[in-house]
Structure 1
């Protein structure tokens, strides 16, 4: 095969963006994807409508050992740049909540537009093709493919993602390449993932399976206010997925049930209006009945509202604002939306995403130790990092 200017491994959001940008510069580009179709995470995201970016994306919405690393890429290719791209392709979209932007019709619209741009840029896409080996060859690289052929390339871009959702083919390939070329790695773990609990806690939670409530999940000084969902394994929902990226095994989280309400004032008023009412009945006017009953039982409150002193009501409502729970684990990479950790940013140039000690080798997207919040932030990192590498690869 003739040598290529750029070979990109991984046809997800970051890889497709990088291939388009490199191709627009006149570079010969081959994009390698082991799956049968490109952009599979794009296709399934946002319930099939792709939460493609967030209007509020800033470096503060990302986790990394170096919290400054993402600034350059996010500044050079912003959410507004990608929104312009979406508009130019005539893809209708809407804001759902908290700045999260979704396609009106289908995530497939994003994939189709990316593939159209790839064709216009002259990029080659090879599907159902795995990489079995990568070696340094002169100033470039030799990439061995699953069909036994070898591609020589001046620039090699690793956009293979992390370990999340292995049933879609996720592997640690990118980390192996980084290790092979002497780059540092930050410990990887599942992120944006439901949390699980010990059998005793799950027994207590069993009546709550399927119950959802608005609330806040807190870990240290970090706090996310969104919906929470009790499951037969533990806790899920947006607020829990967000806090999971900050939580470590053995640590405590705190739940604040309905932070928009002053439960102490509400229960005092209910006591004055109808003191013979059961406390869980008054509480169930504001939160799901099963949750109200369990919270009252766990607090050991007996009798009606009239039997509860201000001191008891205050202690109870204080617990609603800081309910301590200690998860025993998470559902793991099987359901995690992203992988935390990855290629150490100290090994990469923040402007180009090129390896400092291996010229011509780039790492972009989820494989890098940059992980966004839930709500389109990880796609924005993919677009931004892919765009930056595409300017120089």
Structure 2
């Protein structure tokens, strides 16, 4: 019996896999797209509160984490946010800018998924789902370099594209399959870790702040020393176990276990002059004075930590006012860990870019490509990871060839 044969088999029907399949198919290649899950693009479906933060207007290598920070430059230049936006405009899919260049679908992430499926249909892409790949091996036969054993039988193909994503959010089917394929063919891996993830703290030490769960405020947050110091200005969210919100998700990619993070809880208002003025003009409690510039719950909890801060402003010692202002502007704390892959939006690390072509995404193993999150390129919060999916998928699709 003659085995099914394709020019390319793409493993993983997420953002990168779907986009790569559609482009390659429309170039005239015979493409098989398969995934072990029954549904496509679950990460798109749940992202951005169900509206998919699908790109950012301002994208560059500086918005990405990687052991090789320049690797992503070529792909990002070959397929830009403007080019992806044009696809939505072509299909009359409404979108809007929400915050700092972040673009979201007006109606639903389903509109974006439908667009990607239409792209695959336009390229006559064959899609098998659910269908797991049990083994990938080389054949030594040209032009069919690879033989894949799947739930639906064996398949021959010239090229294999791994678009399996990372370890984040296992409940929607995340797995380490892409990393296993890389190891099988002798490719190097950068250690994986949860990224864009909430940070946690010692339960006993966190007890005074657990009561603030649900409270959010704008902050400046930083970690690292000297040239390695990284900072963001975003919103912070208190949780029962620690800290979350955009500020913490952003800094989590740069935080190293055992090191502190620094937080300015009042980046827009210098608190010491405010407190000094209050000392000269009011008998109100310090908590009430701070409550004009900070959430009242935070002001009450913070001043409750020191008896010297639990008094009227005009009766508070200058030393205590200094200490109070300094503690709010320079909160230093050391996380004990993160919420892990269960809550992480993405996985940092992955297939080492030293073993990949920045032009084509092809690995040192001929005909084997890696795109999207499985690669050691991790974007900031704000649509950057989806743009990496589109850009790396496009570079790969343009490089795939037929016999």
Structure 2 partner of 1:146: 151
Of 359, 365, 373, the residue aligned with 2:372 is: 365
1:198 is the counterpart of 2:207: no
Give distance in 2, aligned partners of 1:392 and 1:39. 23
Scaled by the length of structure 2, what TM-score is found? Answer: 0.94
Q: Deviations over 1:5-46 (max 9, x none)?
A: 000000111001111111121100000111111111111100
1:352 is the counterpart of 2:360: yes
Give distance in 2, aligned partners of 1:8 and 1:316. 57
- Secondary structure of the 1:332 match is coil
- Secondary structure of the 2:220 match is strand
Give distance in 2, aligned partners of 1:369 and 1:298. 43
1:321 is the counterpart of 2:335: no
Of 220, 223, 230, the residue aligned with 1:222 is: 230
Structure 2 partner of 1:177: 181
Task: Compute the displacement of 1:289 (Å).
Answer: 1.7
Structure 1 partner of 2:92: 90
Q: Deviations over 1:210-241 (max 9, x none)?
A: 21111122112211111111111111111011
Matches within 5 A, 1:1-393: 1-138=3-140, 139=142, 140-147=145-152, 149-220=153-224, 221-274=229-282, 276-302=283-309, 303-356=311-364, 358-393=365-400
Q: 1:3 touches 1:151 (CA, 8 Å); kept in 2?
A: yes
Give distance in 1, aligned partners of 2:203 and 2:312. 31
Give distance in 2, aligned partners of 1:90 and 1:271. 59
Task: Compute the displacement of 1:351 (Å).
Answer: 0.7
Q: 1:271 touches 1:277 (CA, 8 Å); kept in 2?
A: no
Structure 1 unaligned residues grouped into runs of 5+: none
Scaled by the length of structure 1, what TM-score is found? Answer: 0.97
Structure 2 unaligned residues grouped into runs of 5+: none
Give distance in 2, aligned partners of 1:40 and 1:387. 20
Task: Compute the displacement of 1:309 (Å).
Answer: 4.2
Q: Deviations over 1:36-95 (max 9, x none)?
A: 111111111000000000111111000000000000000110111111111111110000
Q: Count residues in correspondence.
A: 390
Q: Deviations over 1:106-142 (max 9, x none)?
A: 0000000110111011111111111111101125111
Task: Compute the displacement of 1:2 (Å).
Answer: 2.4
Deviates further, 165-174 or 295-304: 295-304
